[in-house]
């Protein structure tokens, strides 16, 4: 059958949505997540750039231009890593590899977060589970009937509980200046950086409010920065770099503090520390709503370990509060504990509406 671009796109959307269960039609991230899961099921293991490049080419001329951009795919792929649907395996040599995550689930208070499994294998869920499936952003949930019943059904289908110690693993509480001092020791033994073409850094000289606009090529700054530098193969590397009048003098590639976490996780953790030490810590804005769930809004991406913790007790809302990068809905009884966690681990400053 010959199709126009829009007919073809409709056919693709309809097919992908069959994996998603109940989903808001306006939830573009959920759709992109579905496309990425299918792509990973077909192509993984592969490198992240290879996956994104191949999917972009495959959707060329089909997807509305604002949807399947490389930037969107890259962003949602990060969310899929947080949600456990995809896993990224670092290697001693060579580029990190993306794998389709094994079938797992995490028990939440009102639902189960599911990952891998039917989205990868294409096997249908049992009707009673399918009826409970829903998607928001990059996450898929099963609404609980009784948790015993649902988890037993999942386990018989080969889904294993995600080990909670692994899901909630996070760095020990530390002082931000202590974290930066540890980085200093690594930087001290790094060789001269030399010329680093196309280096960009997370600027902290002006404002810490707009994450995306903080990324800039160095101009005349001096100090230590979180940066990214391109490499010939694969996505740009995350690094911690010392600048002198805008020129890199020393540089270490991340992660260096704790290799159990991804490079970007460590980079964001460091940036939270830098902002805190400079006296303008990241803000966590708390909204105490009467009818809606209470919310926490942030302006910086969270390291995976923090994002996974919030996913246990809250939901990433479809739209972030204006001026923020994302907003989580969290029940009132969980709020204080989460605020304390973000304060202790990421040194965020609380502001209340």
Q: 228 in helix, strand or coil?
A: strand
Angle (CA) 178-181-186 rounded to 5° is 135
Which residues of this protein are in contact with other proteins, per CB under 8 A?
1-5, 7-8, 11-12, 15-16, 35, 38-39, 41-43, 45-47, 53-55, 57-62, 84, 87, 89, 91-92, 94-95, 97, 99-104, 116, 120-124, 126-127, 152-153, 156-158, 160, 162-163, 166, 232-233
Residue with smaller CB distance to other proteins, 86 or 310 = 86
Bridge-partner residues for 330, per DSSP?
A: 294, 314
Among 276, 270, 272, 281, CA closest to 240: 270
**The pair of three-digit structure tokens given for residue 165, joined into one six-digit string:** 């110690």
Q: Report, in Å, the least distance between residue 273 CB and other proteins.
A: 25
Q: Report, in Å, the least distance between residue 130 CB and other proteins.
A: 9
Bridge-partner residues for 225, per DSSP?
A: 241
Q: Name 329's Cβ contacts closer than 8 Å, sequence gap at least 6.
A: 292, 293, 294, 295, 314, 315, 317
Q: Report, in Å, the least distance between residue 12 CB and other proteins.
A: 5
Q: How far, in Å, CA of 319 to CA of 327, rounded?
A: 7
Q: How far, in Å, CA of 115 to CA of 241, rounded?
A: 36
Q: Report, in Å, the least distance between residue 145 CB and other proteins.
A: 16
Residue with smaller CB distance to other proteins, 41 or 190 = 41
Q: Is the peptide bond before 45 cis (omega within 30 degrees of 0)?
A: yes
Burial class from Cβ neighbours inside 10 Å (0-12, 13-18, 19+) for residue 90 reads middle
Q: Report, in Å, the least distance between residue 148 CB and other proteins.
A: 12
Residue with smaller CB distance to other proteins, 57 or 291 = 57
Q: Report, in Å, the least distance between residue 39 CB and other proteins.
A: 4
């Amino acid at each position: 059958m010959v199709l126009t671009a829009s007919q073809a796109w409709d056919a693709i959307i309809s097919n992908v949505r069959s994996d998603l269960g109940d989903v808001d039609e306006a939830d573009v991230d959920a759709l992109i997540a579905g496309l990425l899961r299918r792509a990973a099921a077909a192509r993984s293991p592969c490198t992240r750039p290879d996956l994104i490049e191949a999917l972009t080419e495959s959707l060329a001329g089909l997807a509305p231009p604002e949807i399947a951009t490389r930037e969107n795919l890259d962003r949602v792929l990060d969310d899929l890593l947080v949600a456990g649907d995809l896993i990224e395996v670092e290697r001693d040599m060579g580029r990190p590899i993306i794998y389709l995550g094994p079938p797992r689930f995490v028990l939440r208070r009102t639902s189960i977060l599911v990952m891998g499994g039917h989205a990868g294998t294409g096997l249908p869920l049992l009707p009673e589970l399918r009826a409970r499936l829903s998607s928001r952003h990059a996450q898929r949930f099963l609404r609980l009937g009784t948790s015993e019943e649902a988890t037993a059904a999942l386990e018989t289908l080969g889904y294993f509980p995600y080990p909670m110690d692994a899901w909630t693993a996070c760095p020990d509480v530390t002082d931000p200046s202590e974290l930066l001092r540890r980085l200093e020791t690594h930087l001290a033994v790094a060789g001269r950086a030399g010329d680093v073409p196309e280096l960009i850094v997370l600027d902290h000289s002006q404002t810490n409010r707009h994450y995306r606009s903080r990324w800039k090529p160095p101009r005349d700054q001096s100090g230590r920065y979180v940066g990214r530098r391109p490499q010939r193969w694969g996505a740009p590397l995350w690094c911690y770099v010392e600048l002198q009048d805008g020129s890199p003098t020393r540089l270490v590639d991340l992660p260096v503090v704790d290799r159990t976490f991804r490079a970007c996780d460590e980079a964001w953790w460091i940036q939270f520390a830098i902002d805190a030490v400079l006296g303008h810590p990241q803000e966590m804005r708390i909204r105490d709503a009467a009818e809606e769930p209470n919310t926490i809004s942030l302006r910086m991406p969270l390291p995976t370990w923090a994002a996974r913790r919030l996913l246990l007790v809250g939901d990433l809302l479809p739209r972030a509060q204006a001026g923020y990068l994302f907003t989580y809905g969290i029940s009132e009884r969980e709020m204080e504990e989460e605020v304390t966690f973000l304060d202790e681990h990421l040194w965020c400053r609380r502001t209340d509406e």
